[in-house]
Chain A
Amino acid sequence: MQMLTKFESKSSRAKGVAFHPKRPWILVSLHSSTIQLWDYRMGTLIDRFEEHDGPVRGVDFHKTQPLFVSGGDDYKIKVWSLQTRRCLFTLTGHLDYVRTVFFHHELPWIISSSDDQTIRIWNWQNRSQIACLTGHNHYTMCAQFHPKDDLIVSASLDQTVRVWDISGLRKKHSAPTTMTFEDQISRVNANQGDMFGNTDAVVKYVLEGHDRGVNWVAFHPTMPLIISSSDDRMVKLWRMSETKAWEVDTCRGHFNNATCCLFHPHQDLIISVGEDKTIRTWDLNKRTSVQSFRRESDRFWVIAAHPEINLFAAGHDSGVMVFKLERERPASTVYQNVLFYINKEKQVRAYDFSKDSESLPLLSLKKLGSPWTPPRSLSYNPAERAILVTSPTDNGAYELIRLPRDATGAIEPTDTKRGSGNSAVFIARNRFAVFTKSSQSIEVKDLSNATTKTIRAPTSINDIHYGGTGCLLLFAPSSVILYDIHQNKTIAELSASGVKYAAWSNDGMHVALLGKHTITIATKNLETVCSLHETIRIKSATWNDLGVLIYSTLNHIKYTLLNGDSGIIRTLESTLYLANIKGPVVYCLDRNGKVLKLTIDPTEFRFKKALISKNYDEMLRIIKTSNLVGQSIISYLQKKGYPEIALQFVQDPQTRFDLAIECGNLAVADEMAGELDRPKLWTKLGAVALEHGNHEIVEKVYHKLRNAEKVSFLYLITGNMSKLQRMAAVADKMANYTAKFQTSLFLSDVEARIQMLRETDMSALAYATAKANGLEELAQEILESSGIAEEQVSLPTLGGPLTAPSVLHNTYEKNLQLKQFEPTYFEKVLLGQVEAMSLEDKHAAPETNGFGSFAEDDLADDDFAPKDDTEAFEEDGGGWDIDEELLDVNDDAGAEADAAELSAAASGVSEADLWSRNSPVAADHVAAGSFESAMQLLNRQVGIVDFAPLKPRFLEVYQASKAYLPANEGMPNVATYIRRTKSETNPSKILPVIPRTLSHLTSTDLQEAYKLVRTNHLDDAVAKFRGILYDVLVSAVTTQAEAGEAVQLIEICREYILGLSIELERRALPETEVKRNLELAAYFTKAKLQPVHVHNALQVAMTQSFKHKNYASASRFAAQYLDLVSSGPKAEQARKVKARADAAGSDAVKIEYDPYAEFDICAGTHMPIYAGQPFVQDPFTKAKYVPEYKGRVCAISMVSAVGAPASGLRLLP
């Protein structure tokens, strides 16, 4: 058992202490007359209350009301308000020191005990004393209400403990009810009252047994038990029944006065304190000492238990300490998707995150450590399915236990290996490390628990933790060391003080080191990435898949990114230990060892993470799907330098304007300025727009600001002469002479300038201007009009006429790009500018011969239509053949193997030989390198004669059949044969892996072929389909269904190769061959293609027929097309064709095509084979040919012989 101190205060002697039932507060009453209110979680003194004179011995919080009560040596009982932090009132009546005060759990009563030998009960609502219990004949040291019944227990220096019945008091003070006569009689008779006639409270039992004064007494919370402690150094346990009470046992051990005692609220423990400076725990059932904790120099005076949480507070000579007995962190570990943990009942359980299911208990560890001590840590080894559990009992012990294969309940482990050590972790598949703190040694042990190696800790360390395979993290007081076990050396050291736990990220690249108040995130080589500080204690941490650390403090779940950005995710009511996070679900363990699922909102950290990793798609998704608007995110984005993204979140025009200016998005800024229409904003926009060279906006702004001069100048510098003219006209109209003068200067319009000068009676200037520009006549006129002779004018030397430079470039036509404003990818997406689809445009195929690019339907989803399945196996009728062949093959293979064995007598049978023995599938023989038998098989099964095209496939399958394991230097590599029967070890059933499985072919190769068709690369498409045929030919399947799929795949390839060959032939025709052209176009429509490809065939046939005036056919094809496609531009076109063709009526060219007859097309001649006509078939592709093709190589597959005898392709072993 351990004592974990959570808080300590320094003060004078603490005589009374009480826990707040809800908040992390304790009241401490001191011998110095002060009452302190502490927050023990934060470690801060909240308030002090100093109204008592002299020591305060008793103090208590009310369970529900914001009240507390205190009693002191000033004989006073004071009731205080927690809200105002003031004394509400004082209860007086005691005639000596008040020892203890307690609230009643439900009634508005306070009980007090005093050195005046009385116990008094007070009503704090009407602030009066309602009972005074006399009987003790020495100081009463303690008096408490029973937690449920109407009983009181009291302790006195008269060496007795008394139990009092106060049911009478309750009756008297409860609301008056109508009483029957009998009730009244019984009431009068029931309590005859004591000798003083007191019927409110009567002594029920007097418990004698202590030899000295009794200091403290307490009821058990649920059982009829009483515990008392006395100056005789004994702690006594008493039991009571309805009628009597007796001493059960005595706990001996204190060697000085036992001052206070209590029952553990949840466990069968007694805790007592004494002036011998010890806190002792006792087993309630055996009354034996469990543990004692000694303090150096402080006598203990009082102890209190928190009503709910596992916390205790003990007052001693120099303050108070808050502690818990035992860690409450359930031992746990996560491996991949499974959490292993040990619950309160000491059962090992597993929780599967992916299934959200909890296993039955796997094991019971009842015998591990002492009954009061939960296991400390758990380490899991997936290779051996074993666990290592450590317990702090007896200075540390570990057990190595194998988990049962199946969870069947809490069974006791049978095969357990034990040893001593403070911590133990698996470091490799078959090794674990055990650290013993006292000797500072790390022992590396194997699974039989034998030590293989002992390492001295390089420095004094407190704990060890898994550090990646073969490595350990050593937690020293002020640093963490990464230590390589194999090489016995320190790889890296990182300074971080007080690290207690470590959490590795899922990819093993980062580790979070948790101290009490700090988290340090480091790489796997212990380079610090970031660290952060928390004022509240950090409890646990886990990583999500994105590399965000989620951690819990006493009262929050928070996150932090690798750059140190952190935030609160949610608050917690009780402490939780995080185990894992999957999407928005956090899995954690509570202190009772139960798995809880909490749903959190991961939006914020996901967004920030996406922002940092520039994952715009993810950001976009989050913005679109989540409600992520808030000042915090906007300011975050701004702070991080992403105003353009922040812009997307903001509605407020002013903010939008500011953000737009910041990121240079003038369009938005302009829009917002227009909305707000304030001169200040316009000015700002104008200045920014000028910097950007966006003179259109500048122009608009100057107009808005009615700044004609600036507008004119802008026109000048952008060379916009026509608008400048207009400005001149406007200036003229408005009689704005300054403007007029200016524009005339800009325009080099001398006359206008002179006119303006004359209008404003500045004849002299007008004259000078005229003169300077050589306008003698005008000058003369001015002279005349002002009545001055030329001689009277004395002019300074005039320069030549100045003209404004002419426009070289019409800048006004287009904005300058002084500053690059490229909308980010992100903005573009938001604005919907990124092409989401239309691959069509990119792959725009050349329009050849009326064969347009195909429709954009995504073929990937189209499963090939199920064809007539009977066809698939019709050739299988002759099962005899196949069996015969099977026998042949086996014999062959066997003979070969035998021969091989003879030749190299020392060698065993290679796995490749086994493969060809085990399978009648050609591909398996190919993989085994037995090409000869493979070819035989293919020839017999599907009549393959020309193998050359199959060579790449053969070599590919062969190459993929083995991996090459480098072993001893100087020796050749060992080939390891790769199997598709992964879990098979029976040599007669193993079979090789065949690359490009059927599903790979349909999901990848077939789609690529379709794409080639779609993009009109027909030659390539034919080659691709043929490649698929070869791949299927040399492949293997595992189920009957797959075999059916293979047949379908062959059919698809056949139809496409046939159809596309027809179309290719048509395209290669010279212009003159109209009839053949039309026939082939018609046949193409008969190929069984994907619907979208049939559309193309019909379109081709329709346009070709129409073009060559075969209107009846054109109409028919158009009708067929419209049956399939009823809307869209192409349907529209078909409709037009149909209308016009119908009007025209007949066919101009007779072709060999009967649209209403059933026929197949000969793959060789591309001519129809009508039903009933003779034909031969290709055994592999099942393509039909006219009889003269018998024996020739199939035009579709190019490898099989048409009409060859064949047993059918066998792909299923």
Chain B
Amino acid sequence: MDPFSDAGELFAIHNLFYQGAYKEVLEQSLAGYSDSAITQARVYQYRAQIGLGSAEQVVGELDDTEGNASLVAVKALALYKIGETESSLELVEELAETASDDATVQVLGAIVLYLAGKVEDALSLLSKHEGNLAAVALIVQIRLLQNKLDLASKEVQLAKKWGQDNLLVNLSEAWVDLHLGGEKYQEAFYIYEELAQTPSTSNARTFVGQAIADIQLGRLEEAEDAINSALERDSTSPDVLVNAIVLYILLGRDSSQYLEALQSVDADNHFLTDLEEKSALFDSCAAEYASLIVE
């Protein structure tokens, strides 16, 4: 039986992980897992730990990777996250040679490669997957980041044929829908609303998704409700805060509270660095007109 299927033992932890419920992932006991599944469960827990910002700890715990390719891949990602990019890339390149059929290696390796700017290498590693939805979801995301909407969309359509109703297929579809626009916004909204309203899948991240769909649909008040629900669940998540800032600007209200919160939680956030860049860009562009100013 497919361990990720509805009745499989990894189903719950897999879903929790991909909904972004990292704390709940860590709370899962590993006692009940069969030998074949326990490694995968551990991978989820390590990734959740990295997601919560404790990459260092993961590196420490994975001092001994027991020769397990999956765990090596996790270690590579953790190393990358703490800035040891060189050694991380070495590990990944080695894994790509030796264990490229391992689903975890594919996904985590591709993440490291993408982060290191080796996008094509990442995609070629991912292309080796056989029925690995996590790989599909990652391909979709990379395609979106590359602004290749048509390829992302194609990937989702293919996955829908065999991936059934898996959470990852749904999420990937929602990501693509939010880029396609038009009627697709509403479909994305349904997907996120469904996740956000189901008790077992409702968490900050799903509410963020719902809020984004609402924003895209122009329903700012509903978006505010969703963002508030997300904030209630996790008021320190950069993902929530970034979108709260965007929303409050759109509402024409003061967003500084969230900007400050973001600065204190994650000063290196892409949003902030991007904003700084743009601010500098503005200054340099404006400077070109300075000679025209006559008081």
Residues of A within 8 A of B (CB): 383, 428-431, 446, 452-453, 468-471, 484, 486-488, 491, 508, 906-911, 929, 931-932, 935, 939, 944-948, 951, 954-956, 958-960, 962-974, 976-979, 982-985, 990, 993, 995-996, 1000, 1004-1005, 1191-1193, 1201
Contact = CB atoms under 8 A, between A and B. Distances in A.
A964 B164 contact: no
A968 B141 contact: yes
Contact of B190 (A383, A970, A984): A383
A985 B185 CA distance: 11
A491 B278 CA distance: 49
A964 B7 contact: no
A87 B65 CA distance: 100
A250 to B, nearest CB: 56
Interface residues of B, number: 88
Given A966-B205, A976-B216, A1193 B294 contact: yes
Given A431-B165, A995-B252, A486 B15 contact: yes
Interface stretch (B30-38, B93-101, B192-200): B192-200
B215 interface: yes
Interface in B221-261: 239, 242-243, 245-246, 249-252
B41 interface: no
B148 A907 contact: yes
Contacts of A969: 17, 20, 22, 47-48, 50-51
Contact of A945 (B22, B120, B165, B289): B289
Given A960-B250, A982-B217, A1000-B252, A471 B199 contact: yes
A429 B186 CA distance: 12
Contacts of A911: 147, 179
Contact of A469 (B197, B271, B288, B292): B197
Contact of A932 (B50, B179, B180, B285): B285
17 contacts: A383-B186, A468-B198, A488-B7, A491-B199, A909-B147, A932-B281, A948-B286, A955-B282, A964-B243, A971-B111, A973-B270, A976-B178, A982-B185, A982-B216, A983-B183, A995-B251, A996-B252
A955 B217 contact: no
Contacts of A968: 107, 111, 134, 137-138, 141
Interface in B137-156: 137-138, 141-142, 144-149
B2 interface: no
Nearest to A929: B278
B145 A972 contact: yes
A906 B294 CA distance: 46
Nearest to B178: A976
A226 to B, nearest CB: 59
Contacts of B4: none
A935 B191 contact: no
Interface of B: 6-7, 12, 15, 17, 20, 22, 47-48, 50-51, 77, 81, 107-108, 111, 114-115, 119-120, 134, 137-138, 141-142, 144-149, 164-165, 171, 175, 178-187, 190-191, 193-194, 197-201, 205, 208-209, 211-212, 215-218, 239, 242-243, 245-246, 249-252, 270-271, 275, 278-279, 281-283, 285-286, 288-289, 292-295
A533 B215 CA distance: 45
A955 B278 contact: yes
A486 B190 contact: no
Given A484-B198, A971-B114, A1192-B294, A383 B187 contact: yes
A470 B286 contact: no
Contacts of A1192: 294-295
Nearest to B187: A383
A652 to B, nearest CB: 48
B40 to A, nearest CB: 15
A907 B147 contact: yes
Contacts, number: 215
Given A471-B199, A963-B243, 4 more contacts: A446-B164, A908-B147, A911-B147, A1193-B293
A930 to B, nearest CB: 9
A947 B289 contact: yes
A983 B164 CA distance: 28
A970 B205 contact: no
A960 B250 CA distance: 6
B125 to A, nearest CB: 14
A978 B243 CA distance: 12
A985 B180 contact: yes
A446 B145 contact: no
A982 B149 CA distance: 18
A967 B198 contact: no
* Interface majority SS (helix, strand, loop, mixed), chain B: helix
A505 B185 CA distance: 26
A970 B108 CA distance: 9
A959 B197 contact: no
B141 A971 contact: yes
Nearest to A428: B194
Given A470-B200, A486-B15, A946-B289, A974 B145 contact: yes
A431 B193 CA distance: 14
A982 B107 CA distance: 34
A468 B250 CA distance: 31
Contacts of A973: 239, 242, 270
B282 A951 contact: yes
Q: Which of A964, A977, A1193 has the most chain B CB atoms closer than 10 A to its own CB?
A: A964
A983 B209 CA distance: 19
A1201 B147 CA distance: 40
A706 to B, nearest CB: 67
Contacts of A958: 275, 278
Given A429-B194, A951-B279, A1193-B295, A935 B246 contact: no
Contact of B216 (A970, A979, A1000, A1191): A979
B198 A446 contact: no
A906 B251 CA distance: 36
Closest 5 CB pairs of A and B: A470-B198, A908-B147, A947-B286, A985-B182, A945-B292
Contacts of B292: 945, 1201
Nearest to B22: A969
A733 B10 CA distance: 104
Contacts of A453: 6-7
A939 B291 CA distance: 13
A1191 B193 CA distance: 56
Contacts of A976: 178-179, 212, 216
Nearest to A954: B282
Contact of A967 (B175, B181, B282): B175
A568 B245 CA distance: 49
Nearest to B197: A469
Contact of A963 (B148, B216, B252, B285): B216
Q: Which of A909, A970, A996, A1192 has the most chain B CB atoms closer than 10 A to its own CB?
A: A970
A929 B271 CA distance: 13
Nearest to B183: A983
A5 B185 CA distance: 50
A963 B22 CA distance: 22
B207 to A, nearest CB: 11
Contacts of A972: 145, 270
A990 B278 CA distance: 23
B289 A939 contact: yes
A973 B271 CA distance: 10
B246 to A, nearest CB: 5
A488 B6 CA distance: 9
A929 B6 CA distance: 44
B150 to A, nearest CB: 8
B138 A971 contact: yes
A929 to B, nearest CB: 6
A983 B20 contact: no
Nearest to A1031: B252
Contact of A959 (B171, B185, B246): B246
A1004 B254 CA distance: 13
A473 to B, nearest CB: 13
Contacts of A908: 146-149
